[in-house]
Amino acid sequence: MPWRSIRARLTLWYTSLFTLSFLALGGAGYGLLSYTLSQESDAALRGVAQTLAEREGGRADSLIPGEIDEIFRQFFGFSPLERYFERFSPLDRLRPGASPPGGGKIPLSQEALKNASRGLPTFETLKGLAPYPVRVLTWPVVRGGRVSGLIQVGMSRENLEKTRGGFLLIMGGMLPVALLLAGGGGWVLARKALKPVDRMTETARKISAEHLDRQVQGSGTGDELDRLARTLNEMLGRLNLAFQEIRQFSADASHELQTPLTVLKGEIEVGLRAPRKPEEYQAILRSALEETDRIARLVEGLLLLSRSDAGVLRMDRRPVDLKTLAEEVIAAVRPLAESRSVNLQADSTEPVQVMGDPDHLRRLFLNLVDNGIKYTPGGGSVEVSLYKEERWACLRVKDSGIGVAAEDQEKIFRRFYRADRARSQGGSGSGLGLAIAKSIAEAHGGRIQLESAEGQGSVFTVLLPLSS
Ligand code: ADP
């Protein structure tokens, strides 16, 4: 659809505006020309009438045609072919419509007669006298201090009409040429201006999920299209990053699932290889159950994260007392702390209530306290405290463990990220715990803060909005 293209529409707009401007300017020029020519012609006619009336009033004999022509020439600058001159007198015997005594053609109008009797001139344009309209000026003749008669001088408007006609002809002739030039120029300009868009479209067409690192080429001039190219490139950069994260995530998730599945498969194969005693089968099944649990936890965590990403995480919203919740969590992890010789302390005073989902919040606390115990060597301590600060409920888990290096502090909240020290320590972590905790805190309108230094323990603080 050619008219759908911006280039065609720009050209159309440009040409239309140009035509309008051309017509407006032409119209104004035509009006100004007509006005100036009429004014000049009227001024010349007035000069002729004044001179002739003065001579007529000051003399007893009549003016001769040669003398009249001379005066017309003096004011108009040329000898007019179509000039008119009539005299009427005496004034008191004149009637409107009277023909001049010399058999002239200009009739005397009532208004001209009335004005002349009051000593005033009258301009009129008469049609039908000649092929072109005639401009007539009726002028009073004053003799001895009073109006004795009147004279009429007239001039064909042929010159004026022809000049105006010529002007129109030139404008009319120029219009199509100007239109063609404007249309062609507009098209070329629009084409030049939109060339970068074509280039961008071409590059964008080639970009697919596999080639998100490609860049749209800008002009480098800093203009609107260059800014558009830059914005597109920034967007492509973000998309590329998101795609990389998704790829990394799938790879990590497969890897994390693969490990317990391989162990599970190995155990089952060992169990089937030869007949065994019931206690051996039980040991194998127990171990298989542990791996199955691990897989189930992983899948559950992944499900929670993807639901939270999609904004469809199911959440109860009811008043939850964090004090009770924290006590439950501490009771649940105490055996683990004892088994690792980690001193677990709880210090909560008053009930702290928030609106939220108790199951999700329990999971959040459990992840943090569990991490505290996991990443604290035997003999260390984990301290859980609950308090209110402004409009926030704060749950703080402070441990004296391995700590988090500054460069890892932001990364450990990413999915599947595990700091090197944590990895080297072994342990059963999958790297999803903190990502899940962060998702849950954010789903409740809260956040998690971390203060830590490598080798000096960590303080994780969950801030959740207090229910009002
Ligand atoms: P996981 O504990 O399963 O590895 P998490 O998401 O809970 O996964 O934690 C991610 C990483 O953050 C851990 O591997 C560890 O490197 C670091 N981390 C979390 N909690 C602590 C802590 N209390 N002390 C030191 N490092 C921690």
Q: What is the pLDDT of residues 322-368, one digit of tens each?
A: 999 999 999 999 999 999 999 999 986 778 999 999 999 999 999 99
Mean pLDDT of 119-123: 91
Q: Whose CA is nearest to atom 21 of ligand 1?
A: 371
pLDDT of residue 343: 96
Confidence class of residue 148 from pLDDT cuts 50, 70 and 90? confident
Contact 445, 393 (CB under 8 A): no
In a domain? residue 201: no
- Answer with the residue of higher pLDDT: 315 or 371: 371
Is residue 103's pLDDT more than 60? Answer: no
Residue 412 Cβ < 6 Å to ligand 1:
yes
To test the pocket of ligand 1, the residue of 304, 369, 412 to mutate (highest count of ligand atoms within 8 Å of its CB) is 412
How many whole angstroms from 418 Cα to the centroid of ligand 1?
Answer: 6
Identify the weakest region by mean pLDDT among 25-29, 106-110, 122-126, 422-426: 422-426
Residue of 371, 408, 436 to mutate, ligand 1, most atoms within 8 A of C-beta: 371
Q: What is the per-residue pLDDT for 1?
A: 46
Q: Looking at the structure, tell me whether residues 255 and 228 fall in a common domain.
A: yes
Kindly state the average pLDDT of the residues 267-283: 91
Atom of ligand 1 nearest to the CA of 413: 6
Query: Is residue 155 within 6 Å of ligand 1 at its C-beta?
Result: no
Query: Is 211 contained in some domain?
Result: no
Both 365 and 406 in one domain: the answer is: yes
What's the gap in Å between 324 CA and the centre of ligand 1?
Answer: 25
Q: How far is the CA of 326 from the centre of ligand 1 (A)?
A: 20
Residue 234 resides in a domain: yes
Q: Which of the listed residues 278, 310, 342 is the one where a domain comes to its end?
A: 310
Asked if residue 25 has pLDDT above 50, the reply is yes
Please check whether residues 156 and 10 belong to one and the same domain: yes
Atom 25 in ligand 1: residue holding the nearest Cα = 403
Are residues 337 and 424 both part of a single domain? yes
pLDDT tops 80 at residue 59: no
**Do 365 and 448 have their domain in common?**
yes
pTM listed for this prediction: 0.61
Which of 282, 310, 338 is the last residue in one of the domains?
310
- CATH number, domain at 272? 1.10.287.130
* Residue 292 placed within a domain: yes
pLDDT band at 31 (very low <50, low <70, confident <90, very high): very high
Same domain for 153 and 87: yes
Kindly report the three-state secondary structure assignment for every residue of 42-77: HHHHHHHHHHHHHHHHHCCCCCCHHHHHHHHHHHHC
In a domain, 218, yes or no: no
Cβ–ligand 1 contact at 433 (below 6 Å):
yes
All residues at 6 or more sequence positions from 389 whose CB lies less than 8 Å from its CB, including other chains? 463
Q: Are residues 145 and 6 in the same domain?
A: yes
Which pLDDT band, with edges at 50, 70 and 90, does 92 fall under?
Answer: low
Distance (Å) from CA 410 to ligand 1 centroid: 12
Q: Are residues 153 and 268 in the same domain?
A: no
Task: Give the per-residue pLDDT at 58.
Answer: 64
User: For the chain, how many structural domains are there in total?
Assistant: 3
Ligand 1 atom closest to the Cα of residue 376 is 24
Q: Which atom of ligand 1 is nearest to the CA of 372?
A: 23
- What CATH number is associated with residue 392? 3.30.565.10
Are 78 and 151 in the same domain?
A: yes
Which residue has the least CA distance to atom 13 on ligand 1? 418
Could you give the angle at the alpha carbon of 362 between the alpha carbons of 360 and 368, nearest 5°?
Answer: 105
Is residue 360 a part of any domain in this protein? yes
Does the pLDDT of residue 151 top 90, yes or no? Answer: no
What is the DSSP secondary structure assignment for residue 99, as one 8-state letter? Answer: P
Answer whether 415's CB lies under 8 Å from 309's CB. Answer: no
Contact 86, 95 (CB under 8 A): no
Show which of 271, 292, 310 is a domain's final residue: 310
CA-nearest residue, atom 23 of ligand 1: 372
In short, whether 85's Cβ falls inside 6 Å of ligand 1 is no
Q: Which of 76-80, 243-247, 317-321 has the highest mean pLDDT?
A: 317-321
Residue 203 lies in a domain: no
Range of the domain at 375: 318-465
Is the per-residue pLDDT at 374 higher than 50?
Answer: yes
* pLDDT at residue 266, as a whole number: 93
CA gap 157, 433 in Å, rounded: 100
* CATH code of the domain in which 73 resides: 3.30.450.20
Q: Is 380 in the pocket of ligand 1 (CB under 6 A)?
A: no
Please tell me whether residues 327 and 348 are part of one structural domain: yes
Atom of ligand 1 nearest to the CA of 436: 6
| Residue 99, pLDDT above cutoff 70 | no
Mean model confidence pLDDT for the chain: 88
In the prediction, which pLDDT does 444 show? 94
User: Is 344 found in the same domain as 457?
Assistant: yes
Nearest to 50 by CA among 195, 135, 178, 150: 150
253-257, 339-343, 426-430, 446-450: range with lowest mean pLDDT: 426-430
Alpha-carbon separation of residue 445 from 313, 355, 441 (angstroms): 14, 10, 7
In a domain, 180, yes or no: no
Residues 302 and 153 in one domain: no
Tell me the CB-side half-sphere exposure of residue 452, using CA atoms within 13 A: 28
Task: Give the least confident one: 8-17, 78-87, 377-386, 453-462.
Answer: 78-87
Buried b (16+ CB within 10 A) or exposed e, 34-56: eeebbeebeebbbbbbbbbbebb
